[in-house]
Structure 1
Amino acid sequence: MIWLIAGLVLVIGVHSLRLVSPGLREQVIARHGAMRWRLLHSGASLVGLVLLIWGYGEARAEPLWLWIPPVWSRHAAALLMLPSFVLLAASLLPGSHIAARLRQPLAASVKIWAFAHLLANGTLADLLMFGSFLAWAVLSFTLLRRREAHLPVPPGSAAGDLKVVLAGVAGWAVFAFWLHGLLIGVRPFG
């Protein structure tokens, strides 16, 4: 469980720098250059992700059950992941009303992802991982929207929305029907 916690601290910590120190990125880039910032940020994120995956895998091998989720919660989680993937696509593809309206579509996507997985899983490792990401996403979404409320809203288009929805649905389908089972070992629909 220690590796899971270390991974969570590193991943969430790196991705919380913008929340706790808004100017840090710009200061590091001004002093050391954008490439060094990218290398440090990406390197720390990658190490954290490896620790998180390893730790979660170890914790799943000997689960400490806190509750037994009902069968319907797996179906609800699979359906909740559809808007999560659409919001993920909105965070990656420019020009949608969805991203413009939410301003923080990635944090909204993580909120839905974490909630869906908390709903469908009942171990201590699940509570630690998905609960931590849910708390981070709620805080990130709220603080960054408040902080950036004075900034102009980027324009969006119906074509941008269509592109985001199609990409999100396609990503969800590929992950739900193939990649989740391959990478995680759990098949949401089978």
Structure 2
Amino acid sequence: MDWLEFALAGLAFLSTHLIPANPRIKGLLVATLGRAGYGIAFGLLALGLLYWLIGAAARAPYVELWPQEVWMRWVTNLVMPVVILISSYAIAAPNPFAFEGRSTGFDPARPGIVGITRQPFLWALVLWAAAHLLVNGDLAHGILFGVFLVFSLIGMRAMEKRLIRRIGAAEFGRLAAHTSLIPFAAVLSGRWRPQGHPSLLRLGIAVFAWAAVFHLHELVIGLSPAP
């Protein structure tokens, strides 16, 4: 029964993420709820189902794949501030390439975080999934975080191909001239140089979010993240 719950939770979570990929359904919901209402409703739904999925993985029969070591916890604790920092600068930033970004206000000559990577939030998910896969060496969590890792990597290319089909290769090339999919590739190749300074507000949000996640992890998830 516990495996069945895990399977149902995973299916429900993945099914809801077909909504942003379907322009017709997403358009209908945005027209009904408004863009802000859609974003809030989808975010709450996704968080609720993710909470169920993580809980279902914890309740699934324990099948060890590798033992947990203290150094694994240190790795996860060092990676998570990076994940939260990237997410803070990615969500609602001008970014026509990613689902978490705003389609308006993007300047190809001054791409901001998009100059580091066109898919910052998905790369944050890759880091989150890899770090939690390392520290959770049982079958259920291996499936959970492994699927997140693979789908995040596949999703990057899928989203870019879909955007190219929608706006054309020439327009995509113009928008992406000073960016890269691989993190920091545009910087290392000299196609982009950081300009200005990062938003202090977003930095403050990241610090607050990290502190909240660290201190509430045991209350919400049931396990302390401390090494």
The one-letter code of the counterpart of 2:59 is E
Q: Give the aligned partner of residue 98 of structure 2.
A: none
SS in 2 for 1:188: coil
Q: Give the aligned partner of residue 169 of structure 1.
A: 207
Q: Give the aligned partner of residue 57 of structure 1.
A: 58
Deviates more, 1:80-89 or 1:49-58: 49-58
Q: Cα deviation per residue 1:140-176 (whole Å; 9 max; x = unaligned)? A: 122223444617369x964444433342233223312
The 1:110/1:42 distance shift into structure 2, 3 A limit, reads closer
SS in 1 for 2:226: coil
Q: Give the aligned partner of residue 118 of structure 1.
A: 133
Aligned-residue sequence identity (percent) comes to 24
Q: Give the aligned partner of residue 136 of structure 1.
A: 151
Q: Give the aligned partner of residue 11 of structure 2.
A: 9
The 1:11/1:158 distance shift into structure 2, 3 A limit, reads farther
8 A Cα contact 1:104 1:144, kept in partner: no
The 1:90/1:99 distance shift into structure 2, 3 A limit, reads farther
The one-letter code of the counterpart of 2:175 is P
The 1:160/1:23 distance shift into structure 2, 3 A limit, reads farther
Q: Give the aligned partner of residue 127 of structure 1.
A: 142
SS in 1 for 2:175: coil
Deviates more, 1:71-80 or 1:47-56: 47-56
The 1:104/1:69 distance shift into structure 2, 3 A limit, reads same
In 1, Cα distance between the equivalents of 2:195 and 2:67? 44
The 1:102/1:16 distance shift into structure 2, 3 A limit, reads farther
The 1:166/1:16 distance shift into structure 2, 3 A limit, reads same
The one-letter code of the counterpart of 2:217 is H
In 2, Cα distance between the equivalents of 1:169 and 1:162? 10
8 A Cα contact 1:118 1:131, kept in partner: yes
The one-letter code of the counterpart of 2:32 is A
1:152 maps onto 2:180 in alignment: no
In 1, Cα distance between the equivalents of 2:47 and 2:82? 26
Gaps of 5+ in 2: 95-110, 165-171, 179-193
Count residues in correspondence: 182
8 A Cα contact 1:2 1:55, kept in partner: no
Gaps of 5+ in 1: none
In 2, Cα distance between the equivalents of 1:184 and 1:50? 8
| Structure number with bigger Rg | 2
Aligned runs of 1:59-138 on 2, under 5 Å? Answer: 59=60, 62-94=61-93, 97-99=112-114, 101-138=116-153
In 2, Cα distance between the equivalents of 1:165 and 1:158? 15
TM-score by length of 1: 0.76
The one-letter code of the counterpart of 1:179 is L
Q: Cα deviation per residue 1:33-87 (whole Å; 9 max; x = unaligned)? A: 432994985686466335414412312xx42211113221110011111111012
